[in-house]
Amino acid sequence: MSHSRKTVAVVGAGTMGSGIATVMARAGHTTILFDIDEAGLRRGVDTVHGFFDNSVRKGKLSAGQASAAKAALKGTTSLADLASSEVVVEAVFENLDLKKEIFGQLDEIVSESALFHTNTSTLSVTGIASGSRIPGRVVGTHYCNPAPLMKLVEVADGRHTADWAHRATLEFLGSLGKTGVVTKDRPGFIVNRFLIPWENSCIRALEAGLGTKEAIDSAVPGALGHPMGPFRLLDIVGMDIHQQVATRLYEQLRDPRFFPPPMVERMVAAGDLGRKTGRGFYEYGDTRLFGS
């Protein structure tokens, strides 16, 4: 797979999908963002545009570059519009049957040579690939959140992933300026095996009064060198997503470190999910994922 401009489809316009679409459009690929819900699609497109606008304000992109990136992005609520896609990145929520169904539908729409990527972080790539009649083209590509800012993408082959698909995936990620790290098809891969228990520990520390959210968010970057504190990160990820990932990993691994603390359930019940709802651990005037 060459580094030439490609047509890339991103299925799912939520937090991860809009972030991944941002990456694709910024790299110059023709990007089709799909969501079944028109309102959700509009929010996703607005999030992508907001990221590019913010990049111009910060001097990271020129106005011309931002305009070109925006022009590279199209939105649709029809899977049929993905027919020309050479790479499809599935980024819907963690439901095995849904992911399998999507790939089964796409088998009948896109070329047999198209790559299928699943952005799962807790489900079996092998299980998801079983939904396609060509499981050899399915590769797990877990983009670290926030996708436009983080370089790392975990790459996990399913049991039947073909060598050509693995090689093409790593080459494609290179065209995006990403670093692919190969891991096994196991729950949580590498990153979430470490990240989820750590985030839960930070939440428990806050619950116990060890420090304020501001203090903990200052201590972590200051002492550990992380780019942001755990609560700023959780507000970007979304507390509902954290709850889903943590719970699913706990169900598979039965390790109590993965079980979400009570504060998570209370925040989700209150609708305090993070930036996307305007309030999580902090309050936000701009609900776009990377708004200022």
Task: Give dist(CA 270, CA 253) in Å, integer.
Answer: 28
> Is position 121 annotated as part of the catalytic site?
yes
Catalytic annotation, pick one of 132, 192, 199, 242: 192
Hey, CA dihedral for 234, 235, 237, 240, is it positive or negative? positive
Task: Give dist(CA 220, CA 189) in Å, integer.
Answer: 23
- DSSP string for 185-219: S-TTTTHHHHHHHHHHHHHHHHHTTSS-HHHHHHH
Note whether 136 and 162 are within 8 A (CB).
Answer: yes
Catalytic annotation, pick one of 55, 85, 119, 121: 121
Q: Which residues pair with 97 in a beta bridge?
A: none
DSSP 8-class letter at 273? -
> Is position 142 annotated as part of the catalytic site?
yes
Catalytic annotation, pick one of 29, 49, 117, 142: 142
Burial 111-147 (b: 16+ CB within 10 A, else e): eeebbbbbbbbbbbbbbbbbbbebbbbbbbbbbbbbb
Q: Which of 116, 121, 152 is nearest to 131 (CA)?
A: 116
Task: Give dist(CA 31, CA 16) in Å, integer.
Answer: 15
Catalytic annotation, pick one of 18, 154, 199, 200: 154
3-state secondary structure 111-155: CCCCEEEECCCCCCHHHHHCCCCCHHHEEEEEECCCCCCCCEEEE
> Is position 192 annotated as part of the catalytic site?
yes
Residues labelled catalytic: 121, 142, 154, 192
